Every structure is written in structure tokens, then in C-alpha cells.
């Protein structure tokens, strides 16, 4: 295809075209991101599970008695429970620090800030339409989306705002830093920040694991790739971006053959976002 042949908006595809695109995989996630995602998911499950059991006061607790009894029983003593929660939390923070420091340019700036968080006008519109469609109040077509849709971005925003809060308050409590007053507020903020993330997680998990439309996205968290058809249908702007870049690349290296499948770069510093030939 030539660049002028890349449509500005999705056009109906022939069955063959659709079939070809369905078979063709596009790289979406770097393996490092996949690993981080699942490590993060596991950590959150364990930390929320133990954290909920740690709040035992009737004034503050969110979990029922039987749940506390089970978790306490599992750990033997509440001291062990707290130690586990703190230790895992510290490991989790450590992993994020490593990612944040060594992957600052690619992950934090390139990925998180530019792609996962920044909302454009289409994104805002998408949120409205999406909500209305879910509720069955609209048939309007969804605005075109980039590599992450606006719903995912919204969740990311919540997560990235709350992560530092959870980490900092957690460390304050773990080491009882500053004054009791600070520790007291840290507990409260820790709880609130986790609460906000968990509220978002409910949607995230549902969308990822249950919502049929997003199944390829779910599997991409294992394989790293989505089929081109899914990208074309759900993340058209991304698909178009990739096509454009690819054509530019091809032109530079005349005579280009056909579009190659994206490959996993050899080095650890690979750029998952940039299509390769």
C-alpha cells in the first residue's frame, strides 16, 4: 500500500482483507511490560487481600469477620501478616523503581506519559459514547482511538496518580517515618489511594478478562501482540500511525518487499512501540 492509500477513517473491509489482517499480528507490548503487568497484578491481589485483613478495627475495616479469620489463620499471627504485606510491598516498590529508573525514557516518558495518559478530544468523546453504549443509550460510532483507548487511559491516570501515594504512605508506615501524626495520615491516605485504584480495577479486570470485545487485548497481555484486524477496529489511529511509519520506512529502503511482521527486538532496551521491518 502507498501512504496515500492509508485511509483516514476505517473503511469497510472485504472478507479477504479482514481474514488477512486477522492472521497478521502486530506487536503491542514488550515482554518487560507484560511481565511487569502480571507481577503488578499478582502483587495487587495479594496486597489488597492482606491489606484488607490488616484493617481489623471495626471503625475502619472493610472486610467481614470471617475473611479476617481466614487470612489471620493462613498467616498464623497478625505480625506475620503485616510482615508479609510490608515485605511484598517493598519488593513491589523496588521493582517499580528499577523500571522507573532504567526505563525512564522509554517506559515512563515514551509509554506512560505520551500514550497511556494523555487524553485528546477523541478520547473525551469516546468516554461519553462508550458509557452511553454500554448503557444502551446510544448507537453512535466510537471515535477513533490510539494504542490505548480512553477508558484505559482514564484508569491509567488513576493508577499513576495513586501509585506514588500508595508507595510513599506504605514506606512511611513500614518504617514509621516522621511523626505519629504523619504515620496516622499515611494510613488514611494509603487506604484511600488503594480504594481508588481498586474501584478502577473493577472496570479494568472486567474489561480485560470478561468483556468479549476486548479479548484480543486480554491475550495481548500474554503474547504481546494483537491481530491487525483488532487494531484496525479498535485502535484505528494507532493502526494508521503504524502503517504510515512502516511505509516511510519501506520507502527509505527501496525496494521494499512486503510489510514484515513486527519482531521482538533482541536487546532489552527494545522499543515495543516502534514497528520494525
Partner 1 sequence: MARYAMVTDLRKCVACQACTVACSAEWAVPAGHARTHVRTTPLAGSFPNLTSSPVVGQCNQCDHPPCVEPCPSGATYQDAGGIVRVDTDVCIGCGFCVDACPYEARFINPRTKKVDKCDFCRPRIERGEVPACVATCTAHAKYFGDLEDRNSEVSRLVFRDGARRMETRTVAVGPNVFYLGRPEHLDLVLSSYPPRPPRLLTAGAAWTRLLKPLVLAMVGMTFAGQAVAFFTQLHKGEGDFEE
**Where along the sequence are the contacts to partner 1 (CB under 8 A)?**
18, 22, 54-60, 62, 77-79, 81-83, 134-136, 173, 176, 180-181, 183-188, 191-192, 195-196, 198-200, 202-203, 206, 210-213, 229-230, 233
CB of 161 to partner 1, least distance (A): 14
CB of 274 to partner 1, least distance (A): 27
Closest CA to 99 of 275, 218, 268, 274: 268
Instruction: Output 180 or 267, the one with its CB closest to partner 1.
Output: 180
Instruction: Output 181 or 254, the one with its CB closest to partner 1.
Output: 181
Instruction: Output 36 or 201, the one with its CB closest to partner 1.
Output: 201
CB of 92 to partner 1, least distance (A): 18
CB of 100 to partner 1, least distance (A): 26
Can you tell me the distance from the alpha carbon of 253 to that of 22, in angstroms, rounded to the nearest whole number?
Answer: 27
For 62, 94, 197, 267, the CA distances from 194, given in Å and listed in that order, are 12, 18, 5, 35
Instruction: Output 98 or 131, the one with its CB closest to partner 1.
Output: 131
Can you tell me the distance from the alpha carbon of 88 to that of 213, in angstroms, rounded to the nearest whole number?
Answer: 34
CB of 185 to partner 1, least distance (A): 5
Instruction: Output 54 or 272, the one with its CB closest to partner 1.
Output: 54
Amino acid at each position: 500500500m502507498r501512504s496515500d492509500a492509508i485511509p483516514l477513517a476505517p473503511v469497510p473491509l472485504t472478507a479477504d482483507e479482514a481474514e488477512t489482517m486477522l492472521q497478521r499480528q502486530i506487536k503491542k507490548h514488550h515482554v518487560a511490560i507484560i511481565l511487569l503487568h502480571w507481577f503488578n497484578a499478582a502483587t495487587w491481589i495479594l496486597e489488597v487481600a492482606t491489606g484488607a485483613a490488616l484493617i481489623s478495627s471495626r471503625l475502619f475495616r472493610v472486610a467481614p469477620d470471617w475473611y479476617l479469620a481466614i487470612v489471620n489463620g493462613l498467616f498464623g499471627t497478625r505480625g506475620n501478616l503485616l510482615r508479609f504485606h510490608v515485605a511484598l510491598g517493598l519488593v513491589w516498590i523496588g521493582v517499580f523503581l528499577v523500571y522507573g529508573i532504567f526505563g525512564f525514557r522509554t517506559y515512563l516518558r515514551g509509554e506512560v506519559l505520551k500514550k497511556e495518559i494523555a487524553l485528546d478530544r477523541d478520547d473525551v468523546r469516546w468516554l461519553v459514547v462508550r458509557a452511553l453504549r454500554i448503557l444502551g443509550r446510544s448507537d453512535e460510532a466510537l471515535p477513533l482511538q490510539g494504542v490505548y483507548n480512553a477508558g484505559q487511559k482514564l484508569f491509567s491516570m488513576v493508577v499513576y496518580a495513586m501509585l506514588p501515594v500508595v508507595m510513599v504512605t506504605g514506606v512511611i508506615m513500614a518504617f514509621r517515618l516522621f511523626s505519629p501524626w504523619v504515620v496516622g495520615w499515611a494510613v488514611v491516605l494509603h487506604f484511600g489511594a488503594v480504594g481508588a485504584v481498586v474501584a478502577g480495577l473493577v472496570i479494568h479486570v472486567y474489561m480485560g478478562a470478561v468483556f468479549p470485545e476486548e479479548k484480543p487485548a486480554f491475550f495481548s497481555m500474554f503474547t504481546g501482540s494483537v491481530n491487525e484486524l483488532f487494531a484496525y477496529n479498535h485502535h484505528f489511529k494507532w493502526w494508521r500511525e503504524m502503517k504510515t511509519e512502516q511505509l516511510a520506512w519501506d520507502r527509505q529502503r527501496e525496494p521494499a518487499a512486503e510489510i514484515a511482521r513486527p519482531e521482538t527486538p533482541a536487546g532489552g532496551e527494545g522499543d515495543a512501540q516502534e514497528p520494525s521491518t
